[in-house]
Chains A and B, each alone.
Chain A
Amino acid sequence: DQQVKQNSPSLSVQEGRISILNCDYTNSMFDYFLWYKKYPAEGPTFLISISSIKDKNEDGRFTVFLNKSAKHLSLHIVPSQPGDSAVYFCAASKGSNYKLTFGKGTLLTVNP
């Protein structure tokens, strides 16, 4: 039972354009949603998070949007840079059990 789904295994965009990474979830009890970025041979690094009481959170070039009714969130990167090329994982947690449940990840490639 995959509670966090990233249906696009890969995404390719041009430098300077917008990257939009999508994530769907099935468990309505999730309270927090996080995005992690992972480079090869490194561990995932935290990027940005959003609480279920908000619908948008912004940090520099990164913005996460949450649509609770659709159980969908997205990560927007504007403008995209070649250094953003990595695997992006969507993760969610619920209640007092704060373990993170991860999606399978989306490989983003930003072409110069």
Chain B
Amino acid sequence: EAGVAQSPRYKIIEKRQSVAFWCNPISGHATLYWYQQILGQGPKLLIQFQNNGVVDDSQLPKDRFSAERLKGVDSTLKIQPAKLEDSAVYLCASSLDGTGLSGANVLTFGAGSRLTVL
């Protein structure tokens, strides 16, 4: 099966500019996640969608970050305006069953979008 697709792979912008990342999850996966991975840290969940509804966005900096998942498939993560500390890899992941009823909730990750804010 095709994996999780993300674009762009790399983006360099100046602070206060805006940027958008796109994610196409594995077909049939109901749950979609955006994680932020800062260099030297583990991935941190920004937002979780179940179909096109938000399940958890408690760690999303809502003053500058926004995300949507129209029609319950593709998703876009936007940062506006960007700050220096937003430099990170933005990982999109999807899972078949976000409730974990069938056991461990195994996420499949995309390759990530690396953002550098100058």
Check if B14 is an interface residue, CB within 8 A of chain A. no
Check if A32 is an interface residue, CB within 8 A of chain B. yes
Complex interface residues of chain B between 93 and 115 (CB less than 8 A to chain A): 93, 95, 98-100, 103-112
Closest chain B residue to A57 by CB distance? B104
Pair B41/A100 contact, Cβ less than 8 Å? no
CA distance A42 to B107 in the complex (A): 14
Check if A112 is an interface residue, CB within 8 A of chain B. no
A77 CB to nearest B CB, Å: 19
Pair A43/B111 contact, Cβ less than 8 Å? yes
Main secondary structure of the interface of A (DSSP, over half): strand
CA distance A100 to B94 in the complex (A): 12
Complex interface residues of chain B between 50 and 101 (CB less than 8 A to chain A): 55-56, 91, 93, 95, 98-100
Pair B42/A103 contact, Cβ less than 8 Å? yes
Main secondary structure of the interface of B (DSSP, over half): loop
CA distance A91 to B109 in the complex (A): 14
| 4 nearest A-B pairs in the assembled complex, by CB-CB distance | A43-B109, A102-B42, A49-B104, A98-B105
Check if A96 is an interface residue, CB within 8 A of chain B. yes
* Contact code string B12-53 (vs A, CB < 8 Å = 1, else 0): 000000000000000000000100000011111100100000
Q: Which residues of B contact A91 (CB under 8 A)?
A: 42
Q: Which residues of A contact B108 (CB under 8 A)?
A: 46
Q: Which residues of A contact B93 (CB under 8 A)?
A: 43
CB-contact partner of B45 in A6, A34, A49, A99, under 8 A: A99
* Contact code string A16-31 (vs B, CB < 8 Å = 1, else 0): 0000000000000001
